[in-house]
A and B are shown apart, each in its own frame.
Chain A
Amino acid sequence: MSDEMITLAHGSGGKLTHRLIEGIFHRYFRNELLLEAGDSAIFSIHEGRMAFTTDSYVVSPLFFKGGDIGKLAVCGTVNDLAVSGAVPKLLSAGFIIEEGFPLRALEAIVQSMAEAAKAAGVSIVTGDTKVVQKGCADGIFINTSGLGIVKEDIQLGLGRVRPGDRILVTGNLGDHGTAIFLEREQFGVQSSIASDCAPLNGLIGEVLDRFGTAVRIMRDPTRGGLATTLNELTKGQPFGIRLDERLLPVRDEVRGVCEMLGMDPLYMANEGKAVLIVEGEQAEAIAACLRSLPYGSDSAIVGEVTETYAGKVHMKTITGGSRIVDMLTGDQLPRIC
């Protein structure tokens, strides 16, 4: 491929489009369904429940420590399926590319998606590419939709949550959000903080197989961090959540950046973590199981479901005092005071 940049011609459906599809997308997303190259991927529907999800990815910068927009697009959708209790199977990938976008960058992103899909055990079976004029997309936007199979015995939902249940997280909080923030804002900080972007279906699948209905509900705490996700869970519910600040797993470096800039790891995004609400009595066993699996080694029990403070999230602080953990108002901003 001698062309260096994506041009509007690449999106017009003609020779260049086909060269692009075959040279990049088919080359990396190699699988039968895709290579049959119809307008749609045809496959047999599983009998029983299925899960279907979609997400669009517009992250900037496109490449960052620990990943890129492509890896994010695959893992994010895989994880949405996994925390819903589904076994992720098939993904679609739609690309909106800005005119002038370097071909090499596109290839790197697509290759990354292929690697992530392989690691997660899913196939990207259909897709689309559009090219827009310069200035109409921030380099590249990616949408992925995902299909998964929900086994019969899976029963997850807010209705199953009750006081006495415990809150678990599968590892250190705030890595992704902090990594992206440092790459974007250029505050002159040198660190090894990297995005935690990872597929969690293996980890979650194992826990569901072993512990079944002891798991009440799961979420992936992405934008807005754990605090936002937990507030979404408690809103309007007859139960509350109480976190224990001393138990929250946070890397020292992430703490360092947040302390320096006046930000809170509870509100920083995670892209390779899940939060689980589980039956109280099984919490220790589930945590131990998570810790023995890839991507779960820093798992911790961080709180419990309570009858009090219904509809809210509050936290026992490091002094033994108590405070509310509210939803974010807009994005977190660094402060000096």
Chain B
Amino acid sequence: MMNSIYSRYKDEEVTSRLVQEIQAYRGKPLKIMEVCGTHTMCISRYGIRNLLPDTIKLISGPGCPVCVTPSYYVKAAIELARRSDVIIATFGDMLRIPYQDSSLLLEKAKGRDIRIVYTPLDCMELALAHPDKKVIFLSVGFETTIPVIALSVLEAMERGISNYMLLTANKTMPAALHLLSSDEEIGVDGYLYPGHVSAIIGTSLYDEVAERYGIPGVVTGFEPVDLLGAVYRIMGAASGKPQVENLYARVVKPEGNPIAVRKMNQVFKPYDAVWRGIGTIPDSGLRLREEYGAFDAWRLLETSAESLENEPKGCRCGDILKGKCSPQDCKLFGKACTPEKPVGSCMVSSEGTCAAYYKYG
């Protein structure tokens, strides 16, 4: 039954009607920001941007975990990968990020033990099968993924698996959202809120944003009807009282997923994280709590001091991540910076703004 419902979320009749309504927009120019990397990907994949009238601009925010991961993290991961008693387990997203002349993909080609996993939960068997090695999971991701990573730590603890560790670079939405919303230079008229992060954290944060900054928003899913429907609803919301509408109610409840939040807070604690392209945002990252310190792979390294290396000259990832400019405004885009030879993080990640713009046009 659900499969047929989901196929209706791609229904040509419904989507073309939504497109018609959107193209009939005659209001003031609108700047809509989506803060989820998967939304960036879907919007590009569905070709939604070039269906919009000139007066509606869809810009991407810093919702791509790979894009906002500073290069010192890749440096650390490569350093650990080079140790003979380490197996690196990672999501595929991390493999291509360049660091100097290398990347995890290149290290893998050189013979380092780097494995792509679909879920950190698969690391348990990996750790058990290789008791003489440390299995280090590259822990990146926002609130959608963090509870799953927390589960992996709890499971390892319960099963007495002592050779599983995390190299953390996890970040959370609230602080970043406040930062973007209070930046008048960006001037967002409305937000498309991330469907699956919201499934975990609920929607009260967005009510706060609407009230404090007067910016409306729509929580939405990832199907064509979800995204087009969200643009259509923001169009209407932008002129009235700033409100938050939950268009992903089939998945998102106002209170989110309390169990997931509990697990997240049980294992992790907030700290001031460095966001590539943006800088340090207070209370925007998560690290392992003391009780779980034995799982912390940062302890294996000389320093875990977070730093922001200078962006390569000419790279405008920082501005792009804040929605202050689009990829085409960057002089390197498509020339010195391409998916084959990425300069900045927005091009490296497949859901990075620049990569999506380049790949999908």
Contact = CB atoms under 8 A, between A and B. Distances in A.
Interface of A: 185, 187-188, 246, 260-262, 314-324, 326, 329-330, 333-337
Interface of A is mostly: loop
B28 to A, nearest CB: 24
A330 B361 contact: no
A318 B118 CA distance: 27
A318 B12 contact: yes
Contact of B361 (A314, A329, A334): A314
Interface string B338-361: 011000000001110000001111
A335 B46 contact: no
Given A188-B122, A337-B91, A337-B93, A317 B47 contact: yes
B141 A319 contact: no
B224 A318 contact: yes
A337 B90 CA distance: 12
Interface size range on B against A: 35 or more
A252 to B, nearest CB: 8
Contact of B118 (A187, A321, A337): A187
B182 interface: no
Nearest to B15: A319
B96 interface: yes
15 contacts: A187-B118, A187-B122, A317-B46, A318-B224, A320-B16, A321-B48, A324-B359, A326-B358, A326-B360, A329-B339, A330-B96, A334-B92, A336-B118, A337-B141, A337-B351
Contacts of B340: 329-330
Nearest to B40: A337
Given A187-B118, A261-B118, A314-B361, A321 B46 contact: yes
Contacts of B358: 326
Output the residue of B19, B45, B51, B64 with the most chain A CB within 10 A: B45
B307 interface: no
B218 to A, nearest CB: 17
B323 interface: no
A324 B361 CA distance: 5
Contacts of A315: 47
B228 A319 contact: yes
Given A324-B359, A333-B96, A337-B66, A319 B339 contact: no
